[in-house]
Structure 1
């Protein structure tokens, strides 16, 4: 899930971003201090918007976001209660008053993620891959893990190995949640993790990839959250 936070008070925007990352370590969070940059950077699934921004206020940014993406979930963050009814004109998902409490933020994130999953649950996620010899429309669910070899990316799928030129960080951003950068050379699909220790991850197909030592704790927290969100019961 791609989330943007936009507030012209930089400290407040960065604080909200940091808190979202702590609540949900799988999502991708982007921080902005003005609406123009947000609109230029593309499509998001969930956007937290301050209303009283300049030169373009949050209400106008929301209207333009709606033109780009009808499905985007918009949450207004403001100290001004009088804008509550105006927010309905742009189909706002929620409205948060400053200062935003931790419980309120968690609740809105939970509700937004559920809504987003309902909107996107019926369609299978796919990515387009272009190689020297062939073009692919690949189901994300078929990817076991990705391997970085200099400027080349190796996609290990259930059926084949696909090699193409790309930067791993860009691919990681495109794939979004459900994948974890466990090592500078590997990006793993969490759906295929079978077991792990402090140095390696063993996949469902019996392959083993590296887990960086400095990533271990973050990986465990991310993986546990991934399992809970998927309905796994811990005993």
Structure 2
């Protein structure tokens, strides 16, 4: 499958680095290089584009202005944000299942992005992607995570919106978390520490280095045979409790 892409970056060396890196992928076709949002609009109007590599920090117009316009399209091209942003902004990308590349460019990270894009285009998930992109730009980009209401979860070739209100508890799984919902579990790529910083503390409570629970789910705390603690949730799930978080849990109860 041929992938038609657009590079939008005000810095010529950055455009060249990305063009040369993508040259290793024979089925990727560069349709245009643009030094700003204005020329990108012209390129988008003249031809069909599958993917936009979009620099966020540009002097005339922020890349986010163009991203907001693209998000309103019925079947928007996929956007890979190219940025030197802080970790807080990266949290927003991950929560909304959006791809990003950090400057300076990493070949390994670019290869992951190329693989993800291929899966998304193959499954024709443009509409779901458009909803995730609108969530991001409408909430104020890097501030999008401050009022977290939805998490856009990416699996192979698809994006699913999960309401934070539907999450019963969260368990760490390395660089991923397991979002435990009513009757099913969803895997999402973000660390537990990062997600904890985004969840409202009045709604969620850390009870273990590997677990966060919804406060309204807390049902019963008990000591088990080896002297450790176990929390039973209203859903019936049993969650280990560590000494570090025991006082806060007892206070919450």
TM-score category by the smaller chain? 0.3 to 0.5
TM-score in terms of structure 1 length: 0.46
More relative contact order, 1 or 2 (CA 8 Å, 6+ apart):
1
Could you say which structure has the larger radius of gyration?
A: 2
